[in-house]
Every structure is written in C-alpha cells, then in structure tokens.
Structure 1
Amino acid sequence: MNLKRIFGALLTLLGIISLIYAAQVFLTATESTRDIKTLIIYGALGIIFFASGISLVRTTKDES
C-alpha cells in the first residue's frame, strides 16, 4: 500500500464532495439569499483539494 496514493485519493474525494456542496448551495439559494462567501470558500477549497489529489495520484510511482 502506498500512503501517498491513499492520501491523494482522499484529497480527491474531499475535493469532489466540496465541489458538489458548493453546487448544491448555488442551486438552492434564491436571488436574495445567495451566500457568496460560502460559495467562494467551498468552491476554492474543492478546486484546490481536487487538483492536488489528482496531481499526487498521477505523480506517485507504483513501487512494490
């Protein structure tokens, strides 16, 4: 088991969950109650976690 690959998969999963939550907040908010700060925070964290997780999984070599 490669710990870096597991951590990369975990980061990717957290990024996907954060992006889905940001999309859900965007879709359920009405015009007057749209929470911009929440959208920016969860969207940015989702993109960062997703990109770093994918990068970590791609760059880690499989060594048995």
Structure 2
Amino acid sequence: MACKINSTKLAIYVITQNTETKEYLMVFQYANDGSLYKYLRKNFCDLTWQAKLEILKNISY
C-alpha cells in the first residue's frame, strides 16, 4: 500500500487498531518535509478547497 502527497509516495508500514479505544493507527515512512498535520496547520487557510480535495484524493488510494 502506498500514499501519495504531491506526487511523492510514502510507504504505509502498518495499519492497526488500538484494542482499548478502537481507534485505527497508521505508521508511515518518515517524511523529510514534515507531517501532513503540520503542513495543513501552516497552510490550511492559504489552500483552495480544490487543493485540499486533491490532497485527500492523493492519499486515499
């Protein structure tokens, strides 16, 4: 399984579920440019909805 952000593929090493909280956890390859969370916190207001949807589309397959 792979994740694409800005045409860069990040490997997904594992998908698991916390047995206590039932939350799902994903462990990705290290991203040199930082996490998607930090990127969105910094740039969310400057991104168009089209750009946000493109990011979502790219990481969903």
TM-score by length of 1: 0.31
Greater length-normalized contact order (CA 8 Å, ≥ 6 residues apart): 1
Q: Which has the higher helix share?
A: 1
TM-score by length of 2: 0.32
Q: Which has the higher strand share?
A: 2
**Rg: which structure is higher?**
1
